[in-house]
Structure 1
Amino acid sequence: MKYLKHKIYGIIFNLFKIFPLKKNKITFIVDSRESFKGNLDYIKKEFEKRGNFDFNFFYKDKLSIKGFKNLATSKYVFLNDNFFPIAFMNFKGETVVTQLWHAPGAFKKFGGSVADGDTREMLLKISDNVDYLITSSKNIEDYYSEAFQISRNKIKPLGLPRADYYFESHDVDDLKSKFCNRYDIDFNKKIILYAPTFREEEKYNNVFNYLNLDEFNRALGDEYVLALRLHPKIKDFYSGDISTKGKYIDCSDYKSEQELLLISDVLITDYSSIMVEFAILNKPIVFFAYDLDSYLSNERGFYFDFESGVPGPVVSNSNQLIDVIVNEEFDESKMSDFSKTQFDAIDGKASKRVVDFLLKYEG
């Protein structure tokens, strides 16, 4: 039976509604890997400034009596990605369920924008039990309304909480020094971060079939080092064999993606939403879209025209990629304009706005 597991979760959860709600209790829904925690961490830190709150984590891939009880008795519940059992959970009327969503802005289509009818119906049921969906800009509300199948009046463009990281005090030189020591890199070299996304068309996932490392390093190696950060699903397809040894740094296992963005001088990507966050820093981005025609035909598509809408030059082969970086063919005004469409405010106060809103209207 479709969604049976999620319905069982809902039935179990509903049994715990007999316990009274606690107004200072907050529960964050995560998985056991605690992935996508960035927004949640910043919301937690902001609540900690406001008083004595009881914080709990509900691990969605673990059955726990304590977890269900905490979830059922929480005043505030936060999600950062999809959790289908929400569709079958009858929260108390005083409970406030807020979806923060881990991906910044609107780039690749997702959720109800690409799903079949059954999935859209499920998303609608989930959204019925969600009080607020936080986005980064009013300009993208229509996209999120479609993706989550949620009413516009539940969408609040208050910002991306984890983007507050870039406005904190960081010793960037120290962060870079630690990175360079770990990977045995010359500190004086600039870092080009290459972060390709996963393709359903498997043959395009081996990035070194399209990026000529010898030519890249011959042209750029004196000034730059190439740091590769792979999407987890790509690892089965790319060839980091003896022919590429020493020609790039594989930092896929580096814990903090945000630190990497902060210390990198240039980002090379393709269709990854990482570029939306990197654009905040107003540093150069190159889109290495060697399979653009295939991606447009076979993948989920974008919310805007890719070639004209992305905040940087689009290239299709190694030579074009190298030329763009060597000649610094970047348009700062385009990057700035893009950020303004994705973020209403870029000020390091997103977490504050979210918590201010919830305490004012739901506290």
Structure 2
Amino acid sequence: MRVKSRLIIFESFNGRDISDNPLAIYKQLIQVDPTIQGSCYFSVKPSEYSRLSQQFPNIQLIKRFTPGWVKYMARADFWIMNSRMPKWWQKNRQTTYIQTWHGTPLKKLGVDIQHVEIPGSTTAKYHEGFVAEAARWDYLIAPNQYSETIFKSAFKFNNHFLEIGYPRNDTLYNDNNHHYIAQVKQALFGYQPKTVMMYAPTWRDDDFQQQGQYKFTLPFNLAEFFQTVSKGTVLIIRPHYLVKDKIDITGFEDRVKIFADEDINELYLITDLLITDYSSVMFDYANLKRPMLFFPYDLAHYRDELRGFYFDYRQENLPGPVVTTSSEFMSALKNYRQANGFPDYQSNLHDFNQKFCAWENGQAAQKICQLILQGGKK
């Protein structure tokens, strides 16, 4: 079948959401050329269709894996996605597939993972699926040289890289101002908290009770946390969507907010201190050049047994203190409060930004739009 010119299908996280790089590209595209909106669609899971229809009333949605979806996918001029498509769905040879991916890798990816711990899959099957999928990508976005080198290895990708940074991060350059930040705080909290800290841990593949049922353990005591930080501090917890209902914040509902579905870039913009472990959020947040605190409480297990890292986590000169116990964590928070940051890590933060944010400048989505409007020509 011939593709239909300017028919564009977007998809975020296998249709679970409308977010991340595909949404940033969509917004920029209809801003540049409003006439194209009528032929742009987001592919979403049927189970999420009602929720996303209400959340994004001006975006056209199609239900994933339905007869209508097949008609649009088969004739699309472009696919713009941040995760993999099922192997059984074939791509029209005339369709241009732009893979945006969704993070700078610290943890091993694709065929670089020696032992896959995903329920219902094997290591060989996982590797085979990744290589077959990456062969279909016409373009792959690389946020930095470090990522491009890893993507070549992990995905066995041999087509065209777009060395432009991530479109989702454009807002960290274009909207990083007091007025916009105040608007976001008001919308999320209903007031202007003095200090916002965000705990955004990584997804732990093996922390499940049984297939499809995962756990979440907060590695610090909330009462002790709020005794240590300054008054007026609000804590945002940004969990994986599979565990967002497993977090106990009883007694702290007024000072702890669980934001699993909100736009993480807006959360970055209002956050004064990011607390994480091995999550790729560290690379995106580094664009803002703000303090970070690393709490890898299960470092040995995660590094050596579960996923493995691309660089030595403890020797990489991370842009903030690294703590592995609750007492060390509280001590670091006390230091942050007293010094209003981590001044001893400013040099590390600068170097980290130069390495991982070098291709970011707030214009990534605009460059993708130019590629689309030129018909996908290199």
**TM exceeds 0.5?**
yes
Change in Cα spacing, 1:88 to 1:189, as seen in structure 2 (3 Å) is: closer
In structure 2, how many angstroms separate the alpha carbons of the residues matched to 1:32 and 1:99?
A: 12
More helix by share: 1
Instruction: Pick the aligned partner of 2:162 from 150, 156, 177.
Output: 156
Q: Does 1:216 align with 2:216?
A: no
Q: Which residue of 2 aligns with 1:111?
A: 110
CA RMSD of aligned residues (A): 2.8
Q: Distance in 2 between matches of 1:33 and 1:45?
A: 17
Q: CA deviation at 1:237?
A: 5.5
What CA deviation, in whole Å up to 9, does each residue of 1:8-53 have, x standing for no partner?
xxxxxxxxx2xx3222221123578542632112212333214632
Instruction: Report the count of equivalent residues.
Output: 334
Give the number of the structure whose alpha-carbon radius of gyration is greater: 1
Are the equivalent residues in 1 in contact too, given 2:292–2:321 (CA < 8 A)?
Answer: yes
SS at match of 2:10: strand
- Quote the residue 1:65 is aligned against: 67
Separation in 2 of the partners of 1:63 and 1:88?
Answer: 10
- Unaligned segments of structure 2, at least 5 residues: 47-63, 117-122, 336-340
Do the aligned residues in 1 keep the contact of 2:15 with 2:44 (CA within 8 Å)? Answer: no
Q: For residues 230-265 of structure 1, what are the alpha-carbon distances to aligned partners after superposition, in whole Å with 9 as ceiling and x for unaligned?
A: 223344765434xx5458413235622222211111
1:344 aligns with 2:358: yes
CA–CA distance in structure 1, aligned partners of residues 216 and 70 of structure 2: 43
Please give the secondary structure, in 2, of the residue aligned with 1:356.
Answer: helix
Q: Distance in 2 between matches of 1:207 and 1:353?
A: 41
TM-score scaled by length of structure 2: 0.78
Partner residue, 2:92: 91
Deviation at 1:316, TM superposition (A): 1.3
Q: Distance in 2 between matches of 1:43 and 1:236?
A: 30
Contact persistence 1:213–1:247 (CA under 8 A): no
CA distance, structure 2, for counterparts of residue 55 and residue 215 of structure 1? 49
Query: 1:62-82: per-residue Cα shift (whole Å, max 9, x none)?
Result: 332222222222221111111
In structure 2, do the counterparts of structure 1 residues 325 and 235 end up closer, same or farther at CA, with 3 Å as the change threshold?
same
What corresponds to 1:133 in structure 2?
Answer: 140
What percent of counterpart residues are identical?
A: 27
Deviation at 1:175, TM superposition (A): 1.9
User: Which of 233, 242, 259 is equivalent to 1:233?
Assistant: 242
Give the distance between the partners of 1:30 and 1:287, measured in 2 at CA. 28
Query: What secondary structure, in the 3-state scheme, does the structure 2 residue paired with 1:355 have?
Result: helix
1:202 CA drift (Å): 6.0
**Mapping of residues 163-312 of structure 1, within 5 Å:** 163-169=169-175, 171-181=180-190, 187-199=192-204, 200-201=206-207, 206-208=216-218, 210-222=219-231, 224-235=233-244, 238-241=247-250, 245=252, 248-253=255-260, 255-309=262-316, 310-312=318-320
TM-score scaled by length of structure 1: 0.81
- Structure 1: gaps spanning 5 or more residues: 1-16
Alignment partner of 1:308: what SS? coil
